């Protein structure tokens, strides 16, 4: 593809996503509300993602602790291990890793599901059945991802800290009371709040891109595969871009 | 507006015999004129087949009728209502009276057969009680001969069964008009014949009028009261099956070879 065509495509896609976002907010506040479908999506997106998020969170905490220990030991500050790990997990690694796992599971799933519905005319059938498909399919899913990811991140962080506690005790002995005393002593409100807030944006981006790619799927089953793939790639990339932006913003606000 | 439309539908459909009026409709995709002044009327109780080559715009035509596509010009009146001038609620009121059988069946994968039939009822007919809804679902499934599939998922059904369930989903609303988009495509000849028979039975029992998009000449012969040939975006010819079959015009006779 020639460069100018690529740039034109990029701007075209950005414009289309912007219109999609504008439509999302327009439909979000306009009655009638698809409450039952929203609750169902919260269950599918949030509750059913919990086992995966819990396992990855636990491994993340355990491995990070085991990797950090030799470095801290060489500086003679092994006692600071809970502090280092908790700050790393809560501020950065927990939200980003959880969001990436979430993007891989949810964004691709939404992209494939809506893409499949599009090419098999289920979205048209929904419209004919007196339902606003955008509100029923897109608004409920994006709202669910936006609300569920912060909750999943908090749970993942907590489980990661338990994993870390286990890691600390593999080559030493620290009581759980002392471990969590050190963790909560090290963490401040300014560590937790921006980290949780950015997951709201991660969740929004992941749900929105999944829905956008699926809702605009074309070219049959090949298009469905492409939608699912593009949903993961773009939403994962957006997680890093949003992370970069939020770090800059919190830095400007003096929260770092 | 929806209430006004419902009243107008009731009055309008009593007055005249034309249930759908398509007048000089144009529809363009990019530089391609898919519909270029297509004109035809559907009479009450009639079964009108629209015949045309692949990509000639047949499906686009009925999607314009149901309001899934906006036309670029001309007017479409469904049950007396100009659909281009209707808002979302007005369109919904029309759609409650016009069933649409999609080519791909478009059954919701994540729902059971019962939920598939419940969905349009819950959306369109808000005053229907749970007992009444259940009765309608059971009766409609019995009509299409698939009462035993009520708790099955669409993925557990064959193509022919899915087609019948999709028809049941349109019938559950007791529509005045049904739009069929290639109802026998992809089915074996026996199942295709069964579907054609079911369409005729439905027409008779439910007093519906229908527009049928099809290439399947056996289905066309069995179901059509009139046939319109869509060519170059226009209604090239119109007549009964026998009239068109006897035509010497090569463009018409090619469909009957």
Pairing of strands B98-101, B226-231: unpaired
- The mean pLDDT of B51-80, rounded to a whole number, is 92
CB contact under 8 A, B104 and A121: yes
Confidence of residue A108 (pLDDT cuts 50, 70, 90): very high
Q: Please, what's the b/e burial string for A73-105 (b: 16 or more CB within 10 A of its CB; e: otherwise)?
A: eeeeebeebbbbbbbbbbbebbbbbbbbbbbbb
**Chain B residues touching residue A124 (CB < 8 angstroms):** 63, 68, 102, 106
Residue A143 has pLDDT above 50, yes or no: yes
**Chain B residues touching residue A132 (CB < 8 angstroms):** 88
The pLDDT value recorded for residue B222 is 92
Min distance A130 CA to chain B CA atoms (Å): 5
The residue ranking higher by pLDDT, B56 or A148, is: A148
**Residue among A45, A120, A129, A134 with most chain B CBs within 10 A, to mutate:** A129
Nearest-CA neighbor of A21 among A234, A239, A240, A204? Answer: A204
CB contact under 8 A, A131 and B68: no
Percent of chain A at pLDDT > 70 equals: 99
CB contact under 8 A, B120 and A121: no
- The mean pLDDT of A210-231, rounded to a whole number, is 88
Query: Which tens digits make up the pLDDT trace of A163-182?
Result: 999 999 988 888 999 999 99
Round the average pLDDT of chain A to a whole number and report it: 92
Complex-level ipTM: 0.87
Rounded Cα distance, B130 and A137, in Å: 25
The pLDDT value recorded for residue B236 is 92
Question: Which of A117, A124, A130 lies closest to B68 in CB terms?
Answer: A124
Confidence of residue B14 (pLDDT cuts 50, 70, 90): very low
Query: Which tens digits make up the pLDDT trace of B110-139?
Result: 999 999 999 999 888 878 888 999 999 999
Rounded Cα distance, B230 and B251, in Å: 11
Residue B50 has pLDDT above 90, yes or no: yes
Residue A88 has pLDDT above 50, yes or no: yes
- The mean pLDDT of B212-229, rounded to a whole number, is 92
The pLDDT value recorded for residue B35 is 93
Min distance A128 CA to chain B CA atoms (Å): 6
The pLDDT value recorded for residue B16 is 46
CB contact under 8 A, A121 and B103: yes
Nearest-CA neighbor of A65 among A152, A161, A174, A184? Answer: A161
**Spans of all domains in chain A:** 1-30, 35-252
Round the average pLDDT of chain B to a whole number and report it: 89
Q: Is A35 exposed, middle or buried (0-12, 13-18, 19+ CB in 10 A)?
A: exposed
Cβ neighbours, 10 Å, residue B10? 12
The pLDDT value recorded for residue B6 is 55
- The mean pLDDT of A131-142, rounded to a whole number, is 96
Interface size between A and B, measured as CB pairs under 8 A:
44
- Whose tokens are 């060489």? That residue is A74
Q: What are phi and psi of B16, to 5 degrees?
A: -115, 175
> B190 vs A159, B160, B163, CA distance in Å?
59, 10, 14
CB contact under 8 A, A130 and B100: no
Rounded Cα distance, A93 and A195, in Å: 10
CB B174 within 8 A of CB B206: yes
C-alpha neighbours within 13 Å on the C-beta side of residue A221: 0
**Chain A residues touching residue B186 (CB < 8 angstroms):** none
The pLDDT value recorded for residue A190 is 85
Residue B55 has pLDDT above 90, yes or no: no
Rounded Cα distance, A235 and A202, in Å: 8
Residue B256 has pLDDT above 90, yes or no: no
Residue A144 has pLDDT above 50, yes or no: yes
Sheet harboring B98-101: ordered strands across? B98-101, B177-181, B209-213, B47-51, B226-231, B234-239
CB contact under 8 A, B119 and A129: yes
- The mean pLDDT of A124-143, rounded to a whole number, is 95
Residue B70 has pLDDT above 80, yes or no: yes
Residue B8 has pLDDT above 60, yes or no: no
Residue B243 has pLDDT above 50, yes or no: yes
């Amino acid at each position: 593809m020639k460069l100018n065509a690529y740039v034109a495509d990029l701007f075209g896609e950005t414009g289309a996503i912007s219109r999609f976002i504008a439509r999302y907010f327009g439909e979000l506040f306009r009655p009638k509300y698809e409450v039952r479908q929203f609750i169902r999506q919260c269950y599918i997106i949030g509750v059913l993602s919990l086992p995966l998020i819990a396992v990855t969170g636990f491994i993340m905490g355990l491995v990070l602790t085991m990797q950090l220990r030799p470095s801290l030991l060489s500086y003679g500050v092994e006692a600071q291990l809970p502090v280092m790990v908790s700050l790393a997990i809560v501020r950065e690694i927990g939200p980003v890793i959880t969001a990436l796992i979430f993007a891989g599971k949810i964004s691709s799933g939404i992209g494939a599901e809506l893409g499949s519905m599009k090419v098999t005319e289920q979205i048209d059938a929904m419209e004919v059945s007196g339902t606003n498909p955008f509100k029923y399919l897109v608004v409920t899913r994006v709202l669910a991802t936006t609300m569920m990811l912060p909750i999943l991140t908090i749970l993942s962080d907590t489980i990661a800290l338990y994993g870390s506690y286990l890691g600390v005790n593999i080559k030493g002995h620290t009581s759980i009371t002392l471990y969590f005393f050190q963790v909560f002593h090290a963490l401040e409100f300014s560590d937790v709040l921006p980290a949780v807030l950015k997951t709201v944006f991660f969740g929004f981006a992941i749900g929105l891109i999944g829905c956008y790619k699926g809702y605009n799927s074309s070219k049959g089953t090949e298009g469905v595969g492409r939608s699912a793939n593009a949903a993961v790639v773009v939403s994962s990339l957006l997680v890093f871009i949003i992370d970069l932006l939020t770090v800059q913003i919190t830095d400007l606000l003096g929260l770092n | 507006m929806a209430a006004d439309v419902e009243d107008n539908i009731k009055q309008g459909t009593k007055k005249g015999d034309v249930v759908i009026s398509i007048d000089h409709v144009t529809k363009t995709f990019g530089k391609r004129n898919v519909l270029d002044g297509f004109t035809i009327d559907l009479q009450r109780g009639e079964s009108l087949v629209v015949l045309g080559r692949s990509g000639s715009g047949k499906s686009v035509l009925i999607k314009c009728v149901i309001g899934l596509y906006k036309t670029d010009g001309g007017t479409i009146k469904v049950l007396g209502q100009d659909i281009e001038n209707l808002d979302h609620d007005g369109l919904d009121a029309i759609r409650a009276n016009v069933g649409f059988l999609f080519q791909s069946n478009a059954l919701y994968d994540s729902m059971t057969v019962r939920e598939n039939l419940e969905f349009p009822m819950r959306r369109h007919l808000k005053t229907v009680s749970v007992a009444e809804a259940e009765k309608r679902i059971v009766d409609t499934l019995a009509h299409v001969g698939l009462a035993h599939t009520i708790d099955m998922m669409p993925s557990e059904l064959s193509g022919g069964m899915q087609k019948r369930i999709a028809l049941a989903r349109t019938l559950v609303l007791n529509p005045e008009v049904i739009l069929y988009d290639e109802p026998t495509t992809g089915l074996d000849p026996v199942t295709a014949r069964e579907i054609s028979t079911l369409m005729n039975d439905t027409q008779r029992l439910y007093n519906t009028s229908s527009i049928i998009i099809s290439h399947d000449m056996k289905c066309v012969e069995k179901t059509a009261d009139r046939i319109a040939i869509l060519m170059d975006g226009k209604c090239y010819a119109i007549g009964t099956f026998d009239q068109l079959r006897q035509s010497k015009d090569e463009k018409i006779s090619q469909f009957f070879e």
